[in-house]
Structure 1
Amino acid sequence: MNNKIKWIGAVFLVVNGSWVWAASLPADLKWETNDTDPTFASPQALPGGTLNMFVDSFPLTFRTVGPDSNGAFRSYILDNQLRLISFHPNTGNPIPSLATHWAIAQDNQTVYFKLDPRAKWSDGKPVTADDYTFGYEMMRSKHIKGPWFNNYYTNEVVAVDKIDPHTILVKAGNPKAKLDLLNTTELWPQPRHFYQLDANWVKKYNWALVPTTGPYVMTEVKKGKSVTFSKQKEWWARDDRYNQHRFNVDTIKVQVIRDRNIAFRHFLKGEFDTFEMLLPNWWHEKANTQEYKQGLVKKVMAMTDTKQGAQGLHLNIANPKLADLNVRLGIQHAINIDKMIKTVLYGDYQRATTFDSGFGPFTEVDLPGRGYEISKARDYFAKGGFDQAGPDGILRNARGERLSLAITYATAEHTKRLTVLKEEAKKAGLDLELNLVDGATGFKVMLEKKHEAAWLGWGGGGLYPQYWEFFHSDNANKPQTNNFFNVADQQLDGLIDRYGSEFDIETRASLSRQIQQRIYDLAIFVPGAQLNYVRASAWRYVMLPEVPATKNSPDLLYWPMDGYPYSSGGLLWLDPKVRQQTEQARGAGESLPSQDMVDKTHARS
């Protein structure tokens, strides 16, 4: 009997006496790779040493999906897990990662990937097609309690099939332009040999040390205190073109220091090697100690051209008071972002006008600004029923209810910003109640939709703006989703659905602008500030390339991991000779030449 029957795009095989379906390769595929884009790390980089860093709160879980997983620490884990491909941080072109080659089918919906046969998990097991088919099953499972992932792997990614042990296909939910399609389909694998997918999955793997494909593994965990990562001595991808001279340190120790001022004192003692300084008061005021004056510690600023995630005030319209459009419009004109930028932020930032920016034609740049206008704010509040001033100057409605807005935020450094906003809002008859909640716990409060208003910023990751998770009614009034607005708007849903399925880039960009217009019309988001640089302090022995950042470097200049979606981190190294020189000068009270710099290589023209 002939044991193979060919079908279009598929085969049936006899396996253990049974007929099973398997995908096959189209004959007309054109395989691509990229081994010609310029490298971006420094050949002068040296291996070895321990990098000491800090975070302001211990993670609530080591899982990267499911309840409480969407915290800041997740980047340490996900940015150490390689994807099928990545994107070059300067050219934006796709580059190999776990896949060596890729090919797009004629339907502009299906991508075929050739997996690198050398790829291994950190426990020594090979990375195979089965890890991708299992990953697809896992991300669709209700056991992970991850609605965003359930949706993405149902509507955005509709198939992951095995061709052979080192070849897979990934199919998007609809046709897309090339980069959009690659961005949708360049998935992370999940170790099939490690996970057991059942109803206890969330609890069972809450603190599991999952095998990784990247250069580092977690080697020591002190609950509530620190997490230590160590580099794999025989990491399988260490000599690949775009990994050379990267991920140089042997050990990364991340300690928990809840107070940034205390962390800065540890930094000046040499207990931390780097200190991020995006916040203007640190850059302009506090980075002026003797260690800086002696040249022992340096300040580095690099201009970038990154896409900006949204930062600002998210209004929870499930609150009866905020359900009134007039009240929301009043809030828009009662929040004095411009004064906050001019005073607390030293004018270093720019006023944002949209939810996400820097995405070219995908950003609606012509939205009229809603500036701070007391009279206009009071007019809108009056239309919303708050037309009587109380003895404290705060407006009240006919029932005697005060016009107050509780703002939940999780970064203590933002208290000064919000204090300015509070004082200015009071002039418009609005009382802002500031509610600071500890890092990971604060974000959990927001995820559980227990806030009136949430003050936070989102990373700008992705090639194009993302809207479904933030604004679609599928995620309204549900915990553990990013729709912090609880918005469920039929017009917005329709635009987002069309945006997600549109193939033509120009039409998709138009839909993006329409979505931003609708968000503006609903007045559910008060845009905050945005920036186009990264900056930090470091002891002078912490080195970066001559051009210290890439065009798409993340917020953290000295980020030791890889990055998403651009492969841009892991550029730093520690120079033992410079460390010895620094320690000798410090002990002798001597000064060294300054290494401060401002690099404008990637400044926007």
Structure 2
Amino acid sequence: MRALALLLGAFFTLTAWAELPAELPADLEWITNSEDPLFASPLAKRGGTLRMSVQSFPLTLRRVGPDSNGSFAGFLRPNQMSLVVYHPETRRPIPSLASHWAFGPNGRTIFYRIDADARWSDGVAVSGADFEFTVEFMRSKHVVAPWYSNYYTDVVTDVKAYGHKVIGVEGATAKPRDEMLFEYGIGVVPKHFHVLNERWVRDTNWKVEPNTGPYQISEVRKGKYIVFERKKDWWASERRYYRHRFNPDRIRVKVIRDINISYQHFMKGDLDSFGLVLPRFWHEKAKGENYEKGYINRYWFYNEAVQPSAGLFLNEDSPKLADRNVRYALAHALNFDKVINTVLRGDYSRMHTFNEGFGEYDNTTIRQRPFDLDKSRDHLAASGWVERGPDGILVKDGQRLSIRITYGAPQHTERLVILREEAKKAGIELELQLLDSASSFKQMQEKKHEVAWMAWGSQGMSPRYWQFWHSDNAHKPQTNNLMNHDDPAMDAMIDEYRAATDKARRIELAHALEQMIFDSGSMIASTKVPYTRSAAWRWMKLPDELGTRTSGSLFNPFELSSGIYSSGGLFWIDLDEKKRVRDARDDGDAFPALLVLNEQYKR
């Protein structure tokens, strides 16, 4: 009887933990982190307006749903705080919307204590009910968000509120603790704001959703600019890791469709900073009186940020690109070495895999197919592309081997022109289709492209494959499988990778998946840069170290880098210095010229 009682006790314990318990367990070990080093400067000053530019106006102000995954999401999503974020130096979890967290015993359950002061921008307190509503919201057919619907169904299986300020999150599978906080660190949606019905997409397209972060949209002039304003009473201002950060009072984001015109605005003093990662700007344009007289400073900062997944994404639903031989031939016809050594001045290097920068998860044995015209011709001949037309382009059954490349970054045209001219030698015509960034991404999301030239921002503690490579996301719009790749063997491996609890096995699967991606030929990786470079007017101030180990940009006004690291918002505007600089320009006076090179994190 005693053995039976023990067995039944164990059975009921396991059964209770098969789902979130009805009552909050009393024996949870609550964890926080108030020990990691501070990284913002105590010298930072509040005030001023940061003036930025973007190349296209967003198609929506929604964070999810149709057309929401464009570049402007990088302005909206960081202002909806995560439950926890990661320290930009130690890479350990630190409090954000949650002050504490605790792990359940089954390896797939986490409990969060919401910060007692957390509130929405309209003053309503953030509650456990908002997190419960988030699941209903993300699963709703009215939202039309396939990735989120899957995540909140197959990855996060349940969310339960325990009173007003504690929630439990249940994941589908056990994960290593260092990955679980990210994998099951759900977002939050304001329940009091949304009405879920068939009009939701249209009704909320230009509505400003309440948020929890330091900035909120205060003005929208469609097609022209958007203004963010810092909340005067932001609830997290004095939290340990948020002190001395997010310092400008306002952020004015102006649409300037040409990067060269944007640079002219910067040189006139109408924009406060300008990214100089592009070699042409760093080597050729960052010269002249403004630099020589010390009005504008230059910064070159190496980091350890995860690399974006950059390159050419080949749509396998395109008849020509459905042929693997054509995909391989295209890869061998792309002379990236010439691009790197000419247009890019040797400042970039070749990227070899879809994901890079995840440490042990990286498959470092893969090398991208080199520029080799003989191999390109051999692959094409194997598929019957042997006859050349009068202009040298291959023809089969009366059809030219012409492939359209869609892109939304005009500053990349020089690179693509070199690739186009070199590909002609193999008999391949590359038709370059430049659209504004919002329109190009919309075409890609609707799967109307042949080849997409773009980069996905990478984030997290480990690579992500499901949204990009699983057949669940192929042959349908508004998903990130731009290749329309549909491979049952890869599906099975992705499913196993998502469900794996053993880190060593996950690493093994990630290596195998990268090999399968390479073997498919559906993604041709382009280039990578292990640093950021910027120019900024002298009144733009940075901490002594400039940035952190994971800073992707020195003048990022919002919190996150690589999706999880709390490294943004470290700069400030010195209004007294701004007056001095403007007076000096009027009088012809000078300051010492400044070029700062920080190689602390150079690998």
Q: Same fold (TM over 0.5)?
A: yes
Distance across 2 between alignment mates of 1:373 and 1:558: 41
Distance across 1 between alignment mates of 2:368 and 2:165: 52
Aligned match of 2:407:
409
Distance across 2 between alignment mates of 1:425 and 1:483: 25
Pairing partner for 1:529 from 527, 530, 538: 527
Is the 8 Å Cα contact of residues 353 and 368 (structure 2) preserved in structure 1?
A: no
Distance across 1 between alignment mates of 2:156 and 2:314: 31
Instruction: Write out aligned runs for 1:59-98 (5 A).
Output: 59-98=58-97
Is the 8 Å Cα contact of residues 314 and 482 (structure 2) preserved in structure 1?
A: yes
Pairing partner for 1:442 from 440, 443, 446: 440
Q: Calculate the aligned-residue CA RMSD, in Å.
A: 1.4
Is the 8 Å Cα contact of residues 248 and 573 (structure 1) preserved in structure 2?
A: yes
Distance across 1 between alignment mates of 2:195 and 2:272: 39
Distance across 2 between alignment mates of 1:523 and 1:185: 32
Pairing partner for 1:429 from 427, 430, 441: 427
**Is 2:528 the counterpart of 1:541?**
no
Aligned match of 2:249:
250
Q: Which amino acid in the other structure matches residue 486 of structure 2?
A: A
Aligned match of 1:28:
27
Distance across 2 between alignment mates of 1:543 and 1:187: 34
Q: Which amino acid in the other structure matches residue 85 of structure 2?
A: S
The CA deviation string for residues 5-25 of structure 1, in whole angstroms up to 9 with x for no partner, is xx96999xxxxxxxxx97322
Instruction: Write out aligned runs for 1:9-158 (5 A).
Output: 23-158=22-157
Distance across 1 between alignment mates of 2:343 and 2:498: 39
**Is 2:527 the counterpart of 1:508?**
no
Distance across 2 between alignment mates of 1:258 and 1:585: 31
Is the 8 Å Cα contact of residues 405 and 430 (structure 2) preserved in structure 1?
A: yes
Displacement, 1:257? 0.5
**Is 2:306 the counterpart of 1:302?**
no
Structure 2 stretches lacking a partner, 5+ long: 1-11
CA separation of 1:580 and 1:38: change in aligned 2, threshold 3 A = same
Aligned match of 1:17:
none
Aligned match of 2:318:
319
Distance across 1 between alignment mates of 2:14 and 2:217: 42
For residue 399 of structure 2, give the secondary structure of its aligned residue in structure 1: coil
Aligned match of 2:7:
none
Distance across 1 between alignment mates of 2:517 and 2:425: 26
Aligned match of 2:378:
379
For residue 507 of structure 1, give the secondary structure of its aligned residue in structure 2: helix
Pairing partner for 2:489 from 488, 491, 494: 491
Distance across 2 between alignment mates of 1:10 and 1:490: 33
Displacement, 1:584? 1.6
Is the 8 Å Cα contact of residues 306 and 460 (structure 1) preserved in structure 2?
A: no
Displacement, 1:369? 3.5
Displacement, 1:518? 0.4
Aligned match of 2:565:
566
For residue 79 of structure 1, give the secondary structure of its aligned residue in structure 2: helix
Instruction: Write out aligned runs for 1:165-244 (5 A).
Output: 165-244=164-243
Is the 8 Å Cα contact of residues 159 and 171 (structure 1) preserved in structure 2?
A: yes
Equivalenced residue count is: 587
For residue 143 of structure 1, give the secondary structure of its aligned residue in structure 2: coil
Distance across 2 between alignment mates of 1:541 and 1:113: 40
Is the 8 Å Cα contact of residues 368 and 525 (structure 2) preserved in structure 1?
A: no
Distance across 2 between alignment mates of 1:550 and 1:24: 41
The CA deviation string for residues 505-541 of structure 1, in whole angstroms up to 9 with x for no partner, is 1110110010000011111111100111011111011
Is the 8 Å Cα contact of residues 9 and 26 (structure 1) preserved in structure 2?
A: no
Q: Which amino acid in the other structure matches residue 400 of structure 1?
A: G
Aligned match of 2:456:
458
Displacement, 1:463? 1.5
Pairing partner for 2:551 from 546, 550, 553: 553
Q: Which amino acid in the other structure matches residue 591 of structure 1?
A: A
Is the 8 Å Cα contact of residues 98 and 112 (structure 2) preserved in structure 1?
A: yes
Identical counterparts, % of pairs: 45
Distance across 2 between alignment mates of 1:452 and 1:331: 13
Aligned match of 1:14:
none
**Is 2:349 the counterpart of 1:356?**
no
Is the 8 Å Cα contact of residues 368 and 524 (structure 2) preserved in structure 1?
A: no
Distance across 2 between alignment mates of 1:404 and 1:440: 25
Is the 8 Å Cα contact of residues 120 and 213 (structure 1) preserved in structure 2?
A: yes
Distance across 2 between alignment mates of 1:310 and 1:356: 6
Aligned match of 1:15:
none
Structure 1 stretches lacking a partner, 5+ long: 1-6, 12-20
Q: Which amino acid in the other structure matches residue 548 of structure 2?
A: T
Distance across 2 between alignment mates of 1:595 and 1:253: 26
The CA deviation string for residues 206-255 of structure 1, in whole angstroms up to 9 with x for no partner, is 01111110111111111110111111111111000000110111111110
Aligned match of 1:18:
none
Distance across 1 between alignment mates of 2:461 and 2:581: 41
Is the 8 Å Cα contact of residues 408 and 435 (structure 1) preserved in structure 2?
A: yes
CA separation of 1:34 and 1:9: change in aligned 2, threshold 3 A = farther
For residue 75 of structure 1, give the secondary structure of its aligned residue in structure 2: helix
Aligned match of 2:163:
164
Distance across 2 between alignment mates of 1:261 and 1:544: 25
Displacement, 1:26? 2.4
Is the 8 Å Cα contact of residues 9 and 23 (structure 1) preserved in structure 2?
A: no
**Is 2:465 the counterpart of 1:472?**
no
For residue 183 of structure 1, give the secondary structure of its aligned residue in structure 2: helix
Displacement, 1:189? 1.2
Displacement, 1:389? 1.6
Is the 8 Å Cα contact of residues 158 and 171 (structure 1) preserved in structure 2?
A: yes
Give 4+ residue runs of structure 1 displaced > 3 Å after superposition.
Answer: 7-11
For residue 457 of structure 1, give the secondary structure of its aligned residue in structure 2: strand
Distance across 1 between alignment mates of 2:49 and 2:499: 46
**Is 2:579 the counterpart of 1:580?**
yes
So what's the TM-score if we normalise by structure 2?
A: 0.96
Displacement, 1:173? 1.1
